């Protein structure tokens, strides 16, 4: 087993504590090690991208970090402590395909707030503000499931952000969207980042990576092949796997 100990940079403060850390994180299923002994730290205020070939383990890593699945080895720490309900409530996740409740657009947002104990006038105000931010205000009463794919993804993002997470996980949030919808989603993510939300996003899109990324974790076949500031990795990838992926070649281990 390889020991992958890769710490993400802390550009503003070298001793800033990690927001989230993975220590010896592993996940096995179906007799296969899908995540193999990852040690890494996500620092506050950064936009960290997770990249790598299909099947490398990107979505599994995201789910482990968010506590949706339980590691079979190692652990995930939130500000130095085990992931618990409060930590989960300080995070939010948006999936590739949005999952909408069979309710109105507005009710989808209100439900997310209710789950976090926000009710009454505060709930109504925050839900309306989030809708306006996502430019969905005029669709508030429509059933969420009749919205277009791009509108549903904007709603999914608004629903994630309305709870004011400190860390937002995004799993290929624009992979099925056209350029205008992609831009709208990126604008929402960047606006959240400007308000202090840290971002961890899976993407295959190098253009999007250049627009959105500060740091990158590069995965290959369940291992953490490379990590660091995105610009450095793009300019001078250190591993053959990263180099091959960036050049659009299939990687074959020697």
Positions touching ligand ATP (CB under 6 A) are: 29-30, 34, 54-60
Please state the closest distance from residue 62 (CB atom) to ligand ATP, in A: 8
Nearer to ligand ATP, 30 or 179 (CB): 30
Distance in angstroms (rounded) separating the CA atoms of residues 246 and 242: 6
Residue 215 CB, nearest distance to ligand ATP (Å)? 18
Q: What is the closest distance, in whole angstroms, from the C-beta atom of residue 87 to ligand ATP in the complex?
A: 22
Based on CB atoms, which residue is closest to ligand ATP, 54 or 252?
A: 54
B/e letters for 202-212, b = 16+ CB within 10 Å, e = fewer, are bbeeeebbeeb
Give min distance, CB of 227 to ligand ATP, in A: 15
C-alpha dist (Å) from residue 237 to 162, 187, 243, 250: 37, 28, 6, 15
Outline where 170-249 has alpha helix (H): 179-194, 206-212, 230-235, 240-246
CB 102 within 8 A of CB 108: no
Of the pair 45, 53, the CB lying nearest ligand ATP is at 53
**Contact between 209 and 230 (Cβ < 8 Å):** yes
How many CA atoms, within 13 angstroms, populate the side-chain half-sphere of residue 189? 32
Closer of 117 and 248 to ligand ATP (Cβ)? 248
CA distance 114 to 151: 22
Q: Considering beta carbons, is residue 1 or 236 the nearer one to ligand ATP?
A: 1
- What is the CB-side half-sphere exposure of residue 205 using CA atoms within 13 A? 18
Give the nearer residue to ligand ATP in terms of CB position, either 59 or 190.
59
Gyration radius of the chain over CA positions? 18
Closest CB to ligand ATP among residues 76, 109: 76
Q: Least distance in Å: CB of 219 to ligand ATP? A: 6
| H or E segment to which residue 42 belongs | strand 32-42
Instruction: Name the minimum Å distance from CB 222 to ligand ATP.
Output: 7
Question: Cβ 250 to ligand ATP, closest distance in Å?
Answer: 14
């Amino acid at each position: 087993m390889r020991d992958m100990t890769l710490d993400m940079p802390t550009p503003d403060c070298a001793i800033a504590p990690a927001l989230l850390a993975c220590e010896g994180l592993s996940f096995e299923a179906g007799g296969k090690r899908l995540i193999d002994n990852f040690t890494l730290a996500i620092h506050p205020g950064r936009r960290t991208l997770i990249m790598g070939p299909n099947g490398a383990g990107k979505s599994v890593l995201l789910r482990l970090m968010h506590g949706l699945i339980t590691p079979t080895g190692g652990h995930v720490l939130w500000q130095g402590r085990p992931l618990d309900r409060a930590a989960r409530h300080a995070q939010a996740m948006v999936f590739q395909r949005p999952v909408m409740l069979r309710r109105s657009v507005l009710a989808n947002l209100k439900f997310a707030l209710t789950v976090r104990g926000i009710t009454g006038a505060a709930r109504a105000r925050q839900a309306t503000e989030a809708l306006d931010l996502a430019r969905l205000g005029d669709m508030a009463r429509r059933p969420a499931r009749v919205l277009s794919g791009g509108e549903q993804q904007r709603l999914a993002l608004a629903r994630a952000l309305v709870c004011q997470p400190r860390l937002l996980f995004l799993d290929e949030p624009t992979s099925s969207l056209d350029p205008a919808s992609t831009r709208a989603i990126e604008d929402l993510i960047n606006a959240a980042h400007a308000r202090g939300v840290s971002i961890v996003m899976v993407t295959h899109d190098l253009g999007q990576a250049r627009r959105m990324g500060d740091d990158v974790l590069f995965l290959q076949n369940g291992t953490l092949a490379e990590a660091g500031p995105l610009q450095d990795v793009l300019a001078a990838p250190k591993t053959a796997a990263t180099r091959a992926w960036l050049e659009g070649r299939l990687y074959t281990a020697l």
